């Protein structure tokens, strides 16, 4: 008696599927995105708890001297506190892939791009306009700070160069870990959430409530949900919240238009590298987790920078013939 052919463990989306609908495979059922999101949250919580406990144990064995419970930081060293925070976020990347593979039964790296992998060459190309955006943002920030008092903007107040001896260790931690932290946030907010919401888009726009069916076939519900969650995951207020949301929507749109997370990762990683390295160089390493408000002018200037980055990425994508469909 011949054996029945085993069903494949994972199923890819049909050829020609846009990025935001890669989770709507032949295995899609309404509960899979919900259960996958719950699994991601649960595994993230337990993994972070395990890392914190293990880190504290090792610290006590090697150095001892934890901070008092009344302090929000765990360790006396600002660099060590930063390293722990970055590692806790970085571990989310494989957990996103695990949720996609285990619950939605699609390729592990299908969250990365329509090719089920990170397109490294394209990621490096995206770093070119991202460097331009970071330089523009710094100059725009100086201009805003010249017009508005420092307490009304997000930036560095005072400080002076601390010297290479004191800077090299935090710099190495930042340069090594921030790209993993930024990548993990993109996998969650521009990857998992955009595709989870996009999976609910119907296969046809015909039927009851056609306008609603057409809306959910577009990437915009997922982009908005992911952007709102991204804002809530930070501690900004006022116009700074609007600026963060604009950033999230822009890179979310670029993710769909370029078929992957590379453009979002490049901009996020380089922006965060500069945001962490500058305070560390000025001897203000403890300010890495300080977030607040910003004047409306920062939003205006940043919208110009983000728009220029989007135009440059789309131009590069056309020149490099980057696929936006599976």
Phi-psi region at 105: left, alpha or beta (left = phi > 0; alpha = psi -120 to 50): left
Report whether 259 contacts 323 (CB < 8 A). Answer: yes
Residue 194 CA to residue 204 CA, distance in Å, equals: 19
312 pLDDT tier (thresholds 50, 70, 90)? very high
The stretch 75-90 carries a mean pLDDT of 92
302 pLDDT tier (thresholds 50, 70, 90)? very high
Summarised one tens digit per residue, pLDDT across range 251-288 is 999 999 999 999 999 999 999 999 999 888 887 766 66
Summarised one tens digit per residue, pLDDT across range 155-169 is 555 567 888 888 899
Residue 220 CA to residue 321 CA, distance in Å, equals: 24
Of 46-50, 69-73, 193-197, 218-222, the poorest mean pLDDT is in 69-73
Summarised one tens digit per residue, pLDDT across range 173-218 is 999 999 999 999 999 999 999 999 999 988 887 778 788 889 999 9
The stretch 142-158 carries a mean pLDDT of 64
Q: Considering only CA atoms, which of 236, 307, 155 is closest in space to residue 227?
A: 236
Phi-psi region at 118: left, alpha or beta (left = phi > 0; alpha = psi -120 to 50): beta
296 pLDDT tier (thresholds 50, 70, 90)? confident
Sequence-ordered list of residues with C-beta below 8 angstroms from that of 94, at least 6 positions apart, any chain: none
Exposure string for 253-290, b = 16+ CB within 10 A, e = fewer: bbbbbbbbbbbbbbbbbbbbbbbbbbbbbbbbbebbee
Residue 317 CA to residue 311 CA, distance in Å, equals: 10
Q: Considering only CA atoms, which of 171, 217, 213, 151 is closest in space to residue 17?
A: 217
- Supply 16's token pair: 């020609």
């Amino acid at each position: 008696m011949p054996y029945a052919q085993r069903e494949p463990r994972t199923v890819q989306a049909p050829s020609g599927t846009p990025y935001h609908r890669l989770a709507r495979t032949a295995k899609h059922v309404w509960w899979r995105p919900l259960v996958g999101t719950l699994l991601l949250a649960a595994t993230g919580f337990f993994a972070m708890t395990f890392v914190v406990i293990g880190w504290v144990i090792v610290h006590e064995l090697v150095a001892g001297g934890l901070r008092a419970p009344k302090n929000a930081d765990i360790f006396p060293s600002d660099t060590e506190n930063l390293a722990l925070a970055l590692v806790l976020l970085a571990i989310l990347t494989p957990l996103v892939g695990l949720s996609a593979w285990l619950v939605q039964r699609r390729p592990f790296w299908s969250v990365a791009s329509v090719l089920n992998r990170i397109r490294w060459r394209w990621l490096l190309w995206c770093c070119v306009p991202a460097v331009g955006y970071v330089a523009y943002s710094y100059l725009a920030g100086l201009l805003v700070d010249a017009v508005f008092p420092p307490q009304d903007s997000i930036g560095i107040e005072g400080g002076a160069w601390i010297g290479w001896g004191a800077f090299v260790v935090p710099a190495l931690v930042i340069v090594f870990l921030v790209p993993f932290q930024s990548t993990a946030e993109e996998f969650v907010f521009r990857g998992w959430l955009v595709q989870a919401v996009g999976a609910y888009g119907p296969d046809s726009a015909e039927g009851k409530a056609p306008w609603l069916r057409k809306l959910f076939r577009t990437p915009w519900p997922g982009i908005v949900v992911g952007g709102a969650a991204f804002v809530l995951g930070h501690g900004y207020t006022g116009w700074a919240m609007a600026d963060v949301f604009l950033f999230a929507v822009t890179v979310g749109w670029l993710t769909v238009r370029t078929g992957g997370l590379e453009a979002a990762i490049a901009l996020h990683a380089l922006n965060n590298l500069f945001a962490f390295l500058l305070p560390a160089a000025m001897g203000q390493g403890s300010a890495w987790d300080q977030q607040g408000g910003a004047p409306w002018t920062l939003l205006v200037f940043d919208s110009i920078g983000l728009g220029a980055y989007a135009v440059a990425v789309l131009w590069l994508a056309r020149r490099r013939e980057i696929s936006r469909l599976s």
